[in-house]
Amino acid sequence: MAAFSGWRFNTGNNTLCAPNGESSQLSTSEANLLKVFVNNPNRILQREQLLGTRDLAATDRSIDVSISRLRRKLEPNAGSAPLIKTVYGAGYLFLAIVSWPAGDADTAA
């Protein structure tokens, strides 16, 4: 279980729990993206790093769509502090301190 900015992300079953306690199920692409982010916080990640092993054309925009959907879940209010920042010409940055509380059933994926 990854914890960041009041959120909890269960990497074992792709469940995201908001600071208010409300939980939601992430799609596989959203969960895979968030797994990369929580394992690499505060580091600029290029699109290729976020795509993982998927072999897609450079013009494929699926990563952008997944990031947009993930942002809507993590930053539901316009006034929310952004957790995913676009670094133009470089990639994306996950702005959070991530902890992996001891004793959780799942581990970093």
Residue 105 lies in a domain: no
Per-residue pLDDT of the chain (109 residues; tens, 9 = 90+): 999 999 999 999 999 999 999 999 999 989 999 999 999 999 999 988 887 755 555 556 778 888 999 999 998 776 777 999 999 999 999 999 999 987 554 544 4
End-to-end CA distance of the chain: 10
Residues 14 and 47: their CA atoms lie apart, in Å, by: 21
CATH number at residue 6: 1.10.10.10
Residue 50 lies in a domain: yes
Residue 108 lies in a domain: no
Domains: count for the chain:
1
Domain that residue 61 falls in:
2-99
Residues 6+ apart with CB under 8 A from 81: 5, 75, 95
* CA dist list (Å): 64 to 23, 61, 91: 23, 5, 10
pTM for this entry: 0.85
Residue 109 lies in a domain: no
